[in-house]
Amino acid sequence: MTLSLMFEVAMLVTSVCGVLVAVWLLWRARKQSDLQALAGFAIMMAIWCFGHVVLFQGYEQIGIHIILANPLMPTFFLHFAIRFVNSGSVKEPMLERLYQAVPWFYLTSFVVVLQSWWIGAGDAISTLDTRSFFIFTEAGTWNLAYTVLIGMLAHGVLLFGWYRHSGNKKRSILAMFGVGAWGLLLATSFVFPSFGISWFPYPMLLLPTYLLLLVYAVVRYQILSVNAFANRALLWVAMMLVILCVIAVISVVSGRIGLQALANVPSWQLWLYSLFILVVAAVIYQPLSRLVSRLIYPGASLNEAVLDTWSTQLKEAQDWPQLIAVGERLLSIQIRRSVAIQLQSSAYPVKEQNDALAIRVSRSDSDWHFVLIGWEDASPGMRLTAEVFASLFSTSCGLLERSLALAVAERKRMDEQHLVELGSLSAAMAHELRNPLNIISMAAYDAPAETRQHIQTQLKRADRLVSDMLVYSGGLTLQVVATPLRSLIASILAQAQLEGVAFELDIDETIELDADPQRLQQVFINLIDNAVSFLRNMPDGKLSIEAKEQYQQIVIQVHNNGPAIDASLQGEALFQPFVTKRAGGSGLGLAIVRRIVDAHGGKIRHRSDSAWPVTFELILPRHFSGAAISNREFHDTK
């Protein structure tokens, strides 16, 4: 095969590739309009390369006129570069103005082409084997210079886009620059004969690769399916190169080992035969692969469409029952047999079922895994389908688990935000209620004594409710100091209106803890007032408070012999706001007590296992965290 024939074949292959690429780009341009200009560039390159083929076949004038249309190639590429770089929500003013001038670029290019035809800017010379090859005349310098200038402008636009963009678009532009350097290397040899350099344009034999690499550099980050095609294409090219090397070795070695007939066959024929076999193998690979798969796995008809349908429908499940129902339906339809899915998880415990065919999916410490149950007598195809589906179903379980966890976290965040807003609203309302209460108190001053006494009693009750709301809804600021416990509680009992209720105090004088005395005083006032409200009408009402130190903790128990607390109120419900059985109570007393105890790092609970009908047990740390700091703030987040 002569060099000129190889050149002609390379130009013809480039023309065919250009047409195919242009058709594909125009089809894709329905979604990406900037690819229309790139399709125009591919068509012009196909026409330009076909001009060389026409020239080699002896139609010199037609070939020269086609080749002289080369200014249109960089014009189409400039059009594409502007659209590609300036696509997106933010438009560059400079590129917008340049885009408005694109019709003028096309018009100028057409004028240059027509002028080149008119003045005879091209000619043909004979190469070493008497074939015609295109050269520029002196009048064609303007055509060549204009083509180079438009190409430089297009790459300048790309350079500007590389500077302004980031991410995949920036990587695409960088890849285009690399391909552009490759194209420049190939095209440089085209102009050598025009400058009197009698070198054969060897680089142009690789021109088909330029167009394919350029399109791949543009779309590889925008159209992911093209990467799979490029992967297969690169594999076949590598195989062709391997065959070429093997044929070269065979040509050298066959004569020396007695295979003279094989040695006499021209290397290019061996390579052509091998290439033909490779092409045939590429064509029949997929059908043969499907046929073999059906022979080995009869009954299995898995493909990308089926897997995509499975994945899409499983992802749409919103909860565990829906996921199981969708999974059972999809797999049963695929294998035409009833299948049960058994899901074992702490989040969704399901009883095992005795089904003929089942898939058990369970949660381990790190991931989801599956086990096929009852598939021993199933065909290999059905078992393969079940394994593929079970693997996909396990992945969907992990996705749903994370989705539900995110939903729970979001609901918790919204609940916490609602509580914060409710606390702020309660504090604002409590402040606003103080003014009308004061006005009512002053207005009742001239009322009859009995009426005034009744009004004052209710005002005190309202004021107590307002004070409790302010305490419960606001943040707690603790002034932590060393606090003697016995003296603190004794002073509270001395000032309390016990109304005949007997009390005893069993607290050692040496017991001391780090706490805010004002807040701690409020705890015991609430507990004592709550107990007295139930004991005041009892003839033998008794209140007892005892404390002891255990393992750096102070355990305090407040007993009374009043009526036992209802079972429905015991536990966490007892310390919730607005839960009370006390007449005239606000329902915030015990809730405030727990907030203060929690702020100190302690615990409070109601005990029903003591010798007293009612017992509240407080456990407070002996040493408060950060006790060396005299003033410490605690902001409650409830």
Ramachandran area for residue 571 (φ above 0: left; ψ -120 to 50: alpha; else beta) = left
Q: Which two tokens stand for residue 510?
A: 């040496």
For residue 482, the cross-strand partners are 514
pLDDT at 353: 52
Q: Which of 534, 520, 535 is nearest to 593 (CA)?
A: 520
Three-state DSSP class for 232? Answer: helix
pLDDT at 557 over 90: yes
Residue 132: φ, ψ to 5°: -85, 140
Report the range out of 329-333, 536-540, 578-582 with the highest average pLDDT.
329-333
More confident site: 105 or 410: 105
The answer to whether the 3-223 and 475-634 domains have the same CATH topology is no
**Average pLDDT of the residues in 527-554:** 87
Instruction: Concatenate the DSSP letters of all residues of 13-42 into one string.
Output: HHHHHHHHHHHHHHHHTTT-TTHHHHHHHH
Distance of CA 237 to the CA centre of its chain: 36
Sheet containing 340-344: give its strands across: 340-344, 358-363, 368-373
User: From CA 107, how far away is CA 111, in angstroms rounded?
Assistant: 6
Residue extents of the structural domains in the chain: 3-223, 224-296, 304-406, 475-634
Are β-strands 553-560 and 512-515 bridged in parallel, bridged antiparallel, or unpaired? unpaired
pLDDT level of residue 114 (50, 70, 90 thresholds): very high
Q: Model confidence at 629, in pLDDT bands (50, 70, 90)?
A: very low
Q: Are 327 and 390 in contact (CB under 8 A)?
A: no
Instruction: Name the residue among 180, 177, 200 with its Cα closest to residue 190.
Output: 200
DSSP code at position 566: P
Question: Can you tell me the distance from the alpha carbon of 388 to that of 391, in angstroms, rounded to the nearest whole number?
Answer: 5
- Whether residue 407 is predicted with pLDDT greater than 50 in this model: the reply is yes
Question: Residue 634 — very low, low, confident or very high, per pLDDT cuts 50/70/90?
Answer: very low
Is pLDDT larger for residue 302 or for residue 56?
A: 56
User: pLDDT (tens digit, 9 = 90+) per residue, 253-280?
Assistant: 766 676 777 667 676 666 777 777 777 7
pLDDT at 262: 65
Give the domain 3-223 fold.
Answer: Rhopdopsin 7-helix transmembrane proteins (1.20.1070)
Give the pLDDT score at 555. 92
Q: What share of the chain is helix, strand, coil (3-state, %, to 5)?
A: 65, 10, 25
Q: What is the CA radius of gyration of the chain?
A: 45
Q: How confident is the model at residue 120 (pLDDT cuts 50, 70, 90)?
A: confident
474 pLDDT band, cuts 50/70/90, is low
| pLDDT for the residue numbered 235 | 67
Mean pLDDT of all residues in the chain? Answer: 78
Dihedral sign of CA atoms 328, 331, 336, 342 in order: negative
CATH superfamily, with its number, for domain 475-634: Histidine kinase-like ATPase, C-terminal domain (3.30.565.10)
Asked if 619 and 603 count as a contact pair (C-beta separation under 8 A), the reply is yes
How many residues are given for the chain?
Answer: 638
Look at residue 101 and tell me whether its pLDDT is greater than 80: yes
CA angle 144, 147, 152 (to 5 degrees): 125
Whether the per-residue pLDDT at 450 is higher than 90: the answer is no
Work out the pLDDT band at 191, boundaries 50, 70, 90.
confident
Q: Please count the CA atoms within 13 angstroms of the CA of 167 that sit on its side-chain side.
A: 4
Burial zone of 336 (CB within 10 Å; 0-12 exposed, 13-18 middle, 19+ buried)? exposed
CA atoms within 13 A on the CB side of 163: 7
Partners of 483 in the beta sheet?
513
